[in-house]
Structure 1
């Protein structure tokens, strides 16, 4: 129901118009200066006569300006002989003129036409706002795309350069290289290949995220045995010496296999353990602590590495964000963003607590009940 304001100098005329329009609209009458605040409230059309237009022109203009860019229609009801005497400035706020004496049917038709014009103005404003938002989203998408291409190109170039360089040495100087030296070169090549595989995995997961194809597919899983396997695999695949410790609270052994997505959980733990090793300082010691409560299981990965500055922590779960103190340690800024999504697909939460030069603890909490529902 449209809201109509009436501003007439003669109360009798105002009452007649109000009586005709009230059955179909919410009609409010301004009967004095004490009611002028209604011009600053939300309404859809103003009906005004000549004397009131002149007297309250400033207030009427302010009311219209308050609703820009949406059109607030003003219908002027005035004696025919007075039309030519209107000052030019008053035409700035008038959409329609109806000369007195008026026909009620014509008044109702004019009001409905102006209300339709206002509705179209509102729809146009909403469409423009949506287009502006879409344009901003597109600009942000283009920025992220450029950033992604630049990051991937840079991160791929380094291991490819390592592989190419060592292959050239093995090809040209193989007869002069000792067996031990060749073994070192091959290990560097294997490490670079592992890095490339990790990058490809991240890119593929990001691609699945972008098209909404990364889903939660739970199946009963023995969490303790799963974590033991992840620890062992991470220990063997690490390119640096590290000590990985698995701590299990006694209550956890009482849990039955839980509905978890093994692929998503594999990414969560592998990424967090790899990060903990990568950003640790000597000696590289990382701890995975498993605990439980009646409603959730909690996994905490703790290192004693370089830590994360407080001002960086809030944004680290966003794509392409890295701490400002990583120096030359390689990384894409994708790992924690993907880890967060994998955790949320489980219905869980992830958080971190870190102090620079002391270490970082990342906590993943997964609900125990109702996990069968994605």
Structure 2
């Protein structure tokens, strides 16, 4: 609801305007100039008469200057013969004039048009701020990518040069070098995949496509892929609980969620330890629990887990780029789900994801407050 400020010296006019406007707007009334100057009122439209204009003209200039190029409309109500008396402030502070006697239809139309211009101005400001944030994010992507990709590229170049110059190296040495090159190549692929995924979600409004899914079968296939391809020697213990329901989820986004959480659990746990993966069916939602007995997450880092590029302070030399959990959070949000974490440093971590069984398509064209 828009806020309309009334600065009218004539009490009867003020009463009639308030009565006319309050059904569709929140009407603010200030009795004196001192009350106005001492306050920090927030409003979307100010309606005033000539007597008020003469006294608060400088205040209006200050308000407009402080709006940082936002449109804040001021509507002057005056008689036809008094229009000329307002020339001192008129064009620098007043956006519209309406002369008495006032037709209710005309007043309503003028108010609605000014409020619409105000709304468009606010939306434009928000979109500009979003664009600035996206540009900053792109810059951080480029900086992070150059940092994350430089080292593995150097490793590959260094070992390929050694292999090229020393063709008679023992097989064990060659195998070791090839393995290191393979590991570096995998890191490059992982980083590029994460950047591409996050860019599609945050910058290009990734498509959201829920469809029927057999969750138990889906999870079994995912576990097999991870155990074969991830390169970790951990076991995943998969358990289902509750009665299976008809789930409609986005398979690609669900893959992002589970793959990132499961590979993180393996990455930050000792080799050979077991990762507990529970699928729990509820009446109108499904719950995924992934529990490890790894290094845990320090309390001071838990509040920043889902920030781009942030990594916990105790990860040491364990590789990573700080994007996986951002992708998880974004994918959960697109399902209108929730994610929580329970972790203790040196003990382990449990991530819990709850998604509605039947996900609804979310429109991404809303302007954030």
1:182-235 C-alpha deviation (Å, 9 max, x unpaired): 2222222222222222223222222322222332242332x3333233223322
**Counterpart position of 1:147:** 140
Q: Is the 8 A contact 1:272 1:301 kept in 2?
A: yes
Cα distance in 1 between the residues matched to 2:287 and 2:246: 15
Q: Is the 8 A contact 1:64 1:72 kept in 2?
A: no
Going from structure 1 to structure 2, the CA distance change for 1:75 and 1:295 (only over 3 Å counts) comes to closer
Find the residue that maps to 2:63 and give its secondary structure: coil
What is the CA RMSD across the aligned residues, in angstroms? 4.6
Going from structure 1 to structure 2, the CA distance change for 1:292 and 1:3 (only over 3 Å counts) comes to closer
Cα distance in 2 between the residues matched to 1:347 and 1:129: 27
After TM superposition, where is structure 1 displaced by more than 6 Å over at least 4 residues in a row? 73-77, 90-95, 112-125
Consecutive unaligned residues of structure 1, counting only runs of 5 or more, are 9-13, 28-34, 81-85, 96-104
**Counterpart position of 1:44:** 47
1:150-188 C-alpha deviation (Å, 9 max, x unpaired): 11122222222222222222222231x222222222222
The 5 Å alignment of 1:3-42 reads 6-7=8-9, 26=20, 36=31, 40=36
Among candidates 178, 192, 204, match of residue 196 of structure 2? 204
1:63-99 C-alpha deviation (Å, 9 max, x unpaired): 955992246567789x99xxxxx9xxx998788xxxx
Q: Is the 8 A contact 2:208 2:361 kept in 1?
A: no
Stretch deviating more after TM superposition (276-285 or 123-132): 123-132
Going from structure 1 to structure 2, the CA distance change for 1:214 and 1:200 (only over 3 Å counts) comes to farther
Cα distance in 1 between the residues matched to 2:220 and 2:110: 69
Cα distance in 1 between the residues matched to 2:173 and 2:309: 37
Going from structure 1 to structure 2, the CA distance change for 1:190 and 1:115 (only over 3 Å counts) comes to same
User: Given the two structures, how large is their TM-score scaled by the length of structure 1?
Assistant: 0.68
Going from structure 1 to structure 2, the CA distance change for 1:154 and 1:214 (only over 3 Å counts) comes to farther
Q: Report whether the alignment pairs 1:171 with 2:173.
A: no
- Note the C-alpha offset of 1:24: 11
- Note the C-alpha offset of 1:290: 2.4
Cα distance in 2 between the residues matched to 1:248 and 1:24: 64
**Counterpart position of 1:230:** 222
Among candidates 309, 324, 340, match of residue 313 of structure 2? 324
Q: Report whether the alignment pairs 1:243 with 2:234.
A: yes
Going from structure 1 to structure 2, the CA distance change for 1:47 and 1:301 (only over 3 Å counts) comes to same
1:303-356 C-alpha deviation (Å, 9 max, x unpaired): 222222223223322332322333333322221111222233344322211122
Going from structure 1 to structure 2, the CA distance change for 1:336 and 1:64 (only over 3 Å counts) comes to same
Q: Is the 8 A contact 2:210 2:359 kept in 1?
A: no
Cα distance in 1 between the residues matched to 2:287 and 2:111: 56
Q: Is the 8 A contact 1:74 1:93 kept in 2?
A: no
User: Given the two structures, how large is their TM-score scaled by the length of structure 2?
Assistant: 0.69
Q: Is the 8 A contact 2:226 2:259 kept in 1?
A: yes
Higher alpha-carbon Rg: 1
1:231-253 C-alpha deviation (Å, 9 max, x unpaired): 2332232334x32231414x44x
Find the residue that maps to 1:44 and give its secondary structure: strand
Among candidates 300, 303, 326, match of residue 337 of structure 1? 326
**Counterpart position of 1:219:** 212
Going from structure 1 to structure 2, the CA distance change for 1:153 and 1:46 (only over 3 Å counts) comes to same
**Counterpart position of 1:296:** 285
Q: Is the 8 A contact 1:4 1:46 kept in 2?
A: no
Cα distance in 2 between the residues matched to 1:124 and 1:213: 31
- Note the C-alpha offset of 1:357: 2.2
**Counterpart position of 1:354:** 343
Cα distance in 1 between the residues matched to 2:291 and 2:171: 38
Aligned length: 328
Cα distance in 1 between the residues matched to 2:147 and 2:361: 40
